Structure 1
Amino acid sequence: MFAVADTDKLVDDGVIAPEAAREIEARSRQAMVTLGINTVLCLGILSATGGLILWLQDPLAVAVVGLMLLAGGFAILSRGSGELRMFGNAAALIGAGMLCGGGTVELVSNHPQIAGQMLSVLGGLILAGAMFAFVRDLARAPFVTGAVALMGLAMHVGGLGYLIADNGVSGLLVSLFYFYTAGLLVAGGWLLDVRLITALAIVPFAQMLDTGTFYFHAAYVFYSPESTLSILQMAVLLAACLWVVGRYGERTARHARILAMLGFVVANLCALVGSLWGDVVGETIWGPAEPQVWTEGAWDAYSKAREAFRDTALVISEGVYSVLWAAALVALLFWSAHRGNRGLFNASLVFGVIHAYTQMFESFGEEPLAYVIGGLALIPIAWGMWRFDRWIKAQASAASGVQHPDG
């Protein structure tokens, strides 16, 4: 697993040689430099592509310039030296982006009646062709073919979303669309070995149950209409990702870890919503639908139907949510510390602070005795965690026949 360590201290303790420490530091620095260069390059490509499309504004001009840049980029990649490959990649991607982006704008703006069908089909063909070229390394330009595959993925998914919105589709089909999109992003991220793409899969996956965000003036809001079901959904994702981490190699495991981490974050945000508002489980899925037109009679009928549903549904109050969330965070804090999972440990600690800060204002602002009881309760919990950790170390030492220094 990846670990954070002080190389100087490891050298002083005799754990590793000074040469090994310098090699670790050099590789770490090079990884950060490469990430920074690629980030700047990608931002430049995206900015130039969008700017050229908006500046030219003519479909034919965009297509001609895009083809010229694409051809020029591949010419540089096929014949240029290693020092020029970055320029070849940039030119080819700007050209491909102009063709895909310009075509998308033209279809949506001037041919809306066929935009959804064309985008979904063309995007699927581009995605399949570019992925095939990437896997077989046909173009000898994996950076370009991988990026073009992502452009095709965006067109394909965007076309399907356009069809869904244009035809007023709702319910299960929308959830399946989000699940399909998440699956494509995970598969694409894994094939290209780009964890950022894998991480983006959490957005459509969460939207299967309408969990998401929206922005209005000076406020960015997270909402989860089905917090309990969303937490269970993320728990299944987390369990599946941890299973993958333990079963497959590091190349696959690092994608599973980033997805598990984001699923854990979303689950905690849903728990925050539940701790503030409580939850009527399944109300937005199986409960009464809101009327299309709000009238006094429609409101009365809807209110009666909603009350009838709540009488038979599982209702979790905000108080119960707060206690369960706190207990889960304490357990996860200990488990992640014992397993050396720094990501889950840090996230558990952060959300524990958020939970305490929120409840301080929501529930216990004028109840000082609550702080006394809560604080005293944490002391034996910490002692129990310490004793349990010592017991685990003793069991491991007994099994290996080596005395642990803390045992």
Structure 2
Amino acid sequence: MYYVAETQSLLDDGIISDVQADEIKSRARAAMVALCVNTLLIAGILAATIGLVFYLGTALSVALCGGLFLVAGLLILRGGAPLYRMFGNASAMIGAGMLISGTGIELVDKYTDIAGPAMMAMGGLIGAFCLWRFRAAPAHLRFAYGAILLMGAALHLEGVYFIADVFYLPGLPMPFVHFYVFAVIALLGGFLDLRVVTACAIIPFAQMLDTGRFHFRDVYIFNSPETTLSILHMGLLIAVCLWIAGRSNGAIRRQAGILMIMAFIVANLCFLVGSLWGDEVGSALFRPRDADFRLEGNGHDTDAYRAALDAFRASTLVIHEHVYSVIWAVLLAGLSIWAAMTNRPGMFYTTMTFAGIYAYTQTFENFYDEPLAYVIGGLVAIPLAFGLWWLNNAWFKPVKVAAS
């Protein structure tokens, strides 16, 4: 929903007719029903696929059952009536999912040495084929081709991360691995015009500053000890998305918008952490390590390590949690005004959500015993609200507020 409007108010003001109001309501309802149907369909396909793979248990039975589902689905899509195409798509996707996921599980379980490169190659080939067929396929086959394209990409990226785990990639190489995964997911989301896929691209992007070793079996949505640097990292992505959205239309603009909102969410989570504990900028990346002061044998030069650590802390930027709280409040206020004035509902609602989180956490964590902070904040908010109301009335259509 790009714009929110009250149809009854538009009717009362004579801006739209009864027929137009009914059409708006009908399209809104159709969009919600379509989203509900697609969600149920995809959830059912995923549940059936995963359940069958683990229930059957053996590679041969999974391959046979998956092949039968795939063939049955393709036959329905080729020769079946349009009424039954949903069942054909579901059957084809369950079959393809069983074959692809079963192959990945079998490789990881029994052929660990070649599992990573094999999954990368097989996933890449499946993705390339579906990418080629997606453009040329009839409209009713694109759903299946698009879904199998995502499955192939998932197998490919699983292979990438599995290689990172096998070769024990710590430190510098991992940000490039995460960026590659981010780029693949973002490009897939843009190609298929699926914002839910594009939104998932924020997960590897946010992990680029994770300084720990990568663990294939441990999955973190977001894990970075560098709060300030992560905020700058997300700010860069937000700026790029704004630049792309301002120079494009249609699908690309939608994908850039959702990725911008996801980056904004992660940045706010970083602000939340910073407002509670502050930050020593660059500490996780550049501070002295205990291992660097190891003596011959099993000992450590503890005094030298502590001296080096104190010297680092004296030279680096340390941001207090109260400073974080003030900066976060100013940014939330400014961004909510910008989102409202530029008619960006997604960003506006996200800002309002984190404003509520901010109010709750700061009330009970930082400023519960600081009444003067509430006085200052309130006296700043009142003229800010007046200024926003005055500017809107001067530049746009006047709005009615409760106190005016």
TM-score (norm 2): 0.90
Corresponding position of 1:128:
128
Q: Does 1:145 align with 2:148?
A: no
CA contact (8 A) 2:49 2:98 kept: yes
Q: Judging changes above 3 Å, is the alpha-carbon distance between structure 1 residues 303 and 121 closer, same or farther for their aligned structure 2 residues? A: farther
Secondary structure, aligned partner of 1:291: helix
Question: How far is the alpha carbon of 1:392 from its aligned partner?
Answer: 3.4
Q: Residue 12 of structure 1 aligns to which amino acid in structure 2?
A: D
The equivalent position to 1:319 in structure 2, one of 310, 319, 322, is 322
CA distance in 2 between partners of 1:183 and 1:298 (Å)? 44
Bigger mean CA offset, 371-380 vs 201-210? 371-380
Show CA shifts across 1:178-225 (max 9, x none).
11111111111111111110000011110111299xxxxxxx996541
CA contact (8 A) 2:207 2:223 kept: no
Secondary structure, aligned partner of 2:146: helix
Corresponding position of 2:371:
368
CA distance in 1 between partners of 2:178 and 2:40 (Å)? 30
Question: How far is the alpha carbon of 1:349 from its aligned partner?
Answer: 2.0
Question: How far is the alpha carbon of 1:136 from its aligned partner?
Answer: 2.3
The equivalent position to 1:345 in structure 2, one of 348, 356, 380, is 348
Bigger mean CA offset, 366-375 vs 9-18? 366-375
Q: Residue 146 of structure 1 aligns to which amino acid in structure 2?
A: G
Q: Residue 39 of structure 2 aligns to which amino acid in structure 1?
A: T
Q: Residue 329 of structure 1 aligns to which amino acid in structure 2?
A: L
Question: How far is the alpha carbon of 1:356 from its aligned partner?
Answer: 2.4
The count of aligned residue pairs is 390
Secondary structure, aligned partner of 1:168: coil
Question: How far is the alpha carbon of 1:405 from its aligned partner?
Answer: 5.2
Corresponding position of 1:399:
none
CA contact (8 A) 1:67 1:99 kept: yes
Corresponding position of 1:217:
none
Corresponding position of 1:233:
233
CA distance in 2 between partners of 1:374 and 1:367 (Å)? 11
Corresponding position of 1:333:
336
Q: Does 1:59 align with 2:59?
A: yes
CA RMSD of aligned residues (A): 2.4
Q: Judging changes above 3 Å, is the alpha-carbon distance between structure 1 residues 51 and 239 closer, same or farther for their aligned structure 2 residues? A: same
Corresponding position of 2:117:
117
Corresponding position of 1:27:
27
Corresponding position of 1:401:
none
Show CA shifts across 1:159-180 (max 9, x none).
1101111111112211111111
Q: Does 1:44 align with 2:47?
A: no
Question: How far is the alpha carbon of 1:369 from its aligned partner?
Answer: 2.8
Question: How far is the alpha carbon of 1:317 from its aligned partner?
Answer: 1.4
Percent of aligned pairs with the same amino acid: 47
CA contact (8 A) 1:139 1:145 kept: no
Corresponding position of 2:97:
97
Show CA shifts across 1:260-292 (max 9, x none).
111111111101111111111112122234539
CA contact (8 A) 1:224 1:273 kept: no
Q: Residue 210 of structure 2 aligns to which amino acid in structure 1?
A: D
Q: Residue 154 of structure 2 aligns to which amino acid in structure 1?
A: A
Question: How far is the alpha carbon of 1:304 from its aligned partner?
Answer: 3.4
CA distance in 2 between partners of 1:231 and 1:367 (Å)? 27
Corresponding position of 1:72:
72
CA distance in 1 between partners of 2:258 and 2:202 (Å)? 10
Q: Judging changes above 3 Å, is the alpha-carbon distance between structure 1 residues 96 and 103 closer, same or farther for their aligned structure 2 residues? A: same
Structure 1 unaligned blocks of 5 or more: 213-219, 394-403
CA distance in 2 between partners of 1:178 and 1:222 (Å)? 12
Q: Judging changes above 3 Å, is the alpha-carbon distance between structure 1 residues 48 and 114 closer, same or farther for their aligned structure 2 residues? A: same
Question: How far is the alpha carbon of 1:5 from its aligned partner?
Answer: 0.8
Q: Judging changes above 3 Å, is the alpha-carbon distance between structure 1 residues 147 and 222 closer, same or farther for their aligned structure 2 residues? A: closer
Corresponding position of 1:169:
169
Q: Residue 280 of structure 1 aligns to which amino acid in structure 2?
A: E
CA distance in 1 between partners of 2:97 and 2:303 (Å)? 53
Corresponding position of 1:304:
307
Q: Does 1:283 align with 2:286?
A: no
Q: Residue 10 of structure 1 aligns to which amino acid in structure 2?
A: L
CA distance in 1 between partners of 2:45 and 2:190 (Å)? 23
Corresponding position of 1:265:
265
Corresponding position of 2:9:
9
Corresponding position of 1:380:
383
Q: Residue 281 of structure 2 aligns to which amino acid in structure 1?
A: V
CA distance in 2 between partners of 1:290 and 1:188 (Å)? 43
Q: Judging changes above 3 Å, is the alpha-carbon distance between structure 1 residues 36 and 299 closer, same or farther for their aligned structure 2 residues? A: farther
CA contact (8 A) 1:178 1:208 kept: yes
Structure 2 unaligned blocks of 5 or more: 213-219
CA distance in 2 between partners of 1:31 and 1:298 (Å)? 66
CA contact (8 A) 1:337 1:345 kept: yes
CA distance in 2 between partners of 1:367 and 1:341 (Å)? 35
Q: Residue 99 of structure 1 aligns to which amino acid in structure 2?
A: L
CA contact (8 A) 1:123 1:153 kept: yes
